[in-house]
Amino acid sequence: MTCTAERKSVDQINTTNILPQTPFWAKVKNKQGFKPNGFRLTVSKELLEPDASSPQQLEEDLLILIKDIGEGHCFAYVPYGPKLEPRFEHQGLFLEKLSESLKPHLPETCVFIRYDLLWENQWAGEEEFYDSQGNWQGPPSAQTQEFRVNFNTDHWNLRKSPGDALPKNTFFLDLARGPEELLYEMRYNTRYNIRQASKKGVEVREHGVDKLDDWYALYEETALRKGITYQTKGYFLELFAQQDEEVRVCLLMAAHEGQELASMLLVLSHKRATYLFGASASDKRQAMASYALQWEAIKRAKEFGCEEYDMFGCAPNLDRSHPLHGVHLYKKGFGGQLFHRMGCWDYPFREEEYEMFKAQEMYH
């Protein structure tokens, strides 16, 4: 069972459905202080599938972002990667071999690798982690998770990160279905609100970077109202500046009687559309502009040729106390399948420095 890594130009990384594993994402994060590195992985099939009988080798590109953390140290961050997904019982072994193969290519001052895993959470398929209403209660303690993930590894070195960076719970819509079928699978209230928005005359239009100031004003208002951290205007300028033939950024705005009430950034990458950011005004809620906006985005994603639509973030269940409860209800209404990812996992190279960094993260 082998896993090798060779350097590859970031610009030559193949664009996939996984937006954070594209050259586009590398260029955006480069402007935020990350140093992007590209790799070509060659992995034996038996490392991914324990009972594989053929000696087949699989190849895949990988984007890694290097981030300085002070005092001459850095860490390597893998956003929604690796894309190759082993069976549950080999996930730890694969990450261990991958980490060791990457180590010689990383700076000597690299304290650890952090994998923001897009794989389905191992505990999402086990009945004991659901309540009587079918709500997933989340994985067990970090210690229990680490025990299972490290099983079969040589060094038992994988650790559950203190937190997660990219969303680890989301809804996916299957865009292979026609518009009528997509509408049919939505909740009644969502379908009703879409039709109400149309009757009320809500119009959704796509705009260019010239409308960025209007977008940002609505986005900032929304973030302040909900008490969440938000990006700078420069970040959104970079999103527009770095789009290419493979990745398209769409700024959609829904207006009623000349007033812009809802807006979103929809990003189209290969066969997947991602609802990356959203914003809404606090008044004229009865116009249902956000429902018209989302439905238009779904239709545009289908026209682009996308096969799936990622809602990009929600609560793990219907717990009313969760800060994303309202977001969860809104996104659930569009009829997608709830998906739970594994989240962030660390592979330390320097134990003492890693524990210090981890402690700092936990107290900030």
CA distance 169 to 167: 6
* Rounded-to-integer distance, Cα 303 and Cα 296, Å: 11
What's the confidence (pLDDT) of residue 53?
73
Ranges under pLDDT 50 in the chain: none
The Cα angle at residue 83 between residues 80 and 86, in degrees rounded to 5: 115
Phi, psi (rounded to 5 degrees) for 107? -60, 145
Amino acid symbol at 141 = S
Q: List the structure tokens of 235.
A: 């970040």
Domain(s) of CATH 3.40.630.30: residues in the chain: 3-166+341-362, 176-306
Which option is the CATH number for 176-306: 2.30.30.50, 3.30.70.20, 3.40.630.30, 3.40.50.720? 3.40.630.30
pLDDT of residue 285: 85
Q: Is 110 helix (H, G, I), strand (E, B) or coil?
A: strand
| The token pair that represents 180 in the structure block | 């009528």
pLDDT at 55: 80
If you write DSSP's letter for every residue of 346-363 in order, what string do you get? EEESSHHHHHHHHHHHHT
Phi, psi (deg, nearest 5) at residue 5: -130, 130
Cis peptide bond N-terminal to 82, omega within 30:
yes
Q: Which CATH class, in words, describes the domain spanning 3-166+341-362?
A: alpha beta
Look at residue 348 in the predicted model and tell me its pLDDT: 98
d(CA 23, CA 297): 23
**What burial class does residue 208 get, using C-beta atoms within 10 Å of its C-beta: 0-12 exposed, 13-18 middle, 19+ buried?**
exposed
pLDDT at residue 19, as a whole number? 95
| Continuous segment of H or E residues that includes residue 78 | strand 73-79
DSSP 167-198: -SEEEEEETTS-HHHHHHTS-HHHHHHHHHHH
Rounded Cα gap, residues 92 and 156, in angstroms: 9
- pLDDT, residue 248, reads 95
Whether the Cβ atoms of residue 334 and residue 165 lie closer than 8 Å to each other: no
Taking alpha carbons only, the member of 173, 147, 121 closest to residue 344 is: 121
